[in-house]
Amino acid sequence: MSTASAEVRRDQALAEAAARFDTPAYVYFTETIAERLSGLRRHFGRWFAVSYAVKTNPNPALLSWMRDQVEYLDISSGGEFTLSQQAGWEPARISFTGPAKREAELRPVIAAGLGELVIESLREARLADAIAAELGLVQPVLLRMTPDRVPKGFGDQMAGRPSAFGIDIEDAPEILPQIAALPNLRIIGLHIYSGTQSLRPEAICENWRIFMRVFSQSCELLDLMPEKLVFGSGLGIPYHPGDTALDLSLITEGIAAELDAFRAQPRLAQCRLVLELGRYLVGPAGYFVTRVISVKQSRGTRIAICDGGLNANLAASGNFGMVLRRNYVMHRIGGDQGGSRAEEKHDISGPLCTSIDKLGSGVLLDRLDEGDLLAIHQCGGYGPTASPLYFISHPLPREVLVQADEVQDITRIKD
């Protein structure tokens, strides 16, 4: 299918979702996720299984579809465990990360047969050991290690500086043996997730080299033959105009020989390597669709005021960790209607009574008029659940799944 045909088909589905289920709406295309998984397996499949980070998009319908697409899930709360169960996931295929796990979360997941508890501190290890002992169980665990540096080129860093996450590598000689001595925990491997949202293949390769060094040192310290080692991928997506999408082949070329040598170590003979990722899979599969309610000229600027703003899409407004605000890629659904719509610069505002409710500044688009639909790209991750949905009590966004020719309302958070 040509690019133009694919864009027409996409816009037809987006328009149908808006017509049937109203706006604002998040629309997710499973076909895109499947294509991205295919690319990951083509480039990395000889080394890695795939784990999906639920925090990126925890919609139960999407999680249910994922059951037959990826090997594992990673949750970060007891609530995400409940959502994964509603979606039909077996607890044995789930790992649980997070720096502040509470007893009320740990007890039910351990009792249910959680695959791996990712231990982030000695306090957490002792608590989990006590719970497992009370239940008469031995809980498999992964130890989350925090390297002493993260290469330049990552959007968010969770290592190389004071961090709430994991066990600092310099503290490993003191802490790891204490965890290993706990009788109701069984260390089966290690976990690192130290940087996110990188579009630089060389930075990702260097980060994975750090992982392999930390994994080797920690396994030697524990005399461990691991069953599982989790690489937090760090693979980014091109949110903004001018961003270049990752070329996975460049990562493969840069790291293949080292991964082969690492995987060939006798200590890793029974080990499975796992690539944990979220936004790389689902981000490009999602579009945020919002309708233009009003258009005005203000001091030389054309402003399109939409029914969805930062309340429904905090990330696209630039208020979800963006240091310098940059526009997301976006387009008018239906294009320029055969050349009848000239391109103009627009500011895109939401419906809220605050000046920070902006989805775009100076965006060059086919002219927007009242009633038009606008689609913001790369919105499959960190959407409804990362937004202040109840701020000013506007209608909550819908969630829609497009699978083959079926367009289905899968909204989880409702009015």
Q: Which residues are catalytic?
A: 353
Q: How far apart are CA 42 and CA 48, in angstroms?
A: 11
Sign of CA dihedral 116, 118, 124, 126: positive
Q: How far apart are CA 80 and CA 82, in angstroms?
A: 5
Q: How far apart are CA 389 and CA 352, in angstroms?
A: 11
What is the widest separation between alpha-carbon atoms in the chain? 72
